[in-house]
Structure 1
Amino acid sequence: MSEIQKALVVHAEEAERIGLPHGGGFRLLADGRDTGGALGANRLSLGEGAAGARPHFHALSTELFHVLDGVVRFTLDGVTSIVAAGGLVSVPPGTPHSFGAAPGSAAELLVVLTPGVDRFGYFRALGRIQHGLGTFDDLLPASEQDRYDVHFV
């Protein structure tokens, strides 16, 4: 018999914060283990014109971005779109994508990955890298890319 998943409530003050040097950061809301693998969620703040992610794809999961504030530049399979507050982007598995705050704009995003995998370790690693406490090479081994379902193009 499968385990019954309970409802999850995460209060703002309970969410782990991973700061980024441009004044932004991640708020880790739900990992795959928190939702029985249904989804993972985080809130991402990007400073003015800050890069969010280099080109990558997810082999297993769909990634949804809801732009809460500001303007975000998305590149989806080579096509660039500018999405303002209130807009939504859904990226199916296998689609190369990257994103960042548009020039002259900061941005706030709610990011949901479904099905969820345990990715909090990935966000923590990104925070260490951004603060010079690790290198991006730490995330490049195939085992790490498979672990977090983040495959770099």
Structure 2
Amino acid sequence: MASKWDDLERWMEGQKLPKGFDVLKEPDWVEQFVRKMMTKALPEAAGAMSSQADDPSFFETHHFVIVKFPLPPDVKRDELKLYVREDRIRIEGLPGNQTETVKLPKPVKPRICRALVKNGILQVKLRKRPGARTYYEADIRW
């Protein structure tokens, strides 16, 4: 399912939408919108769509974002792969040839990453990307 969201994201980036429709370019917003509509239409299915114990948890320090992702018990060590982007991580090689994409709460430096599996939980430590702290002079029109 995550690959379909990536396809949707790439397609939306190429679209020329009128002003105010930029929110539709964010697949996470679209996913939340669809989730809310399904919850309203099928309240009994809301329990199945709500967050589960298998959802990732986040912890932030001053310099790092730490993601803890519970792995299924039948995951194969040799097939598990982790890909890091500035705004999300992708975990491949889960049972059933599944892929999981996790949006990060803050931008990170993708090349500075440490990951380990401890007690069936994938722990990923990522360094936060510092915000621009320099001032740039802007022209003022009179």
Q: Same fold (TM over 0.5)?
A: no
Structure with higher strand content: 1
* Higher RCO (C-alpha under 8 Å, 6+ residues apart): 1
TM-score between the two structures when normalised by the length of structure 2: 0.29
TM-score, reference length from structure 1 = 0.27
- Higher share of residues assigned helix: 2
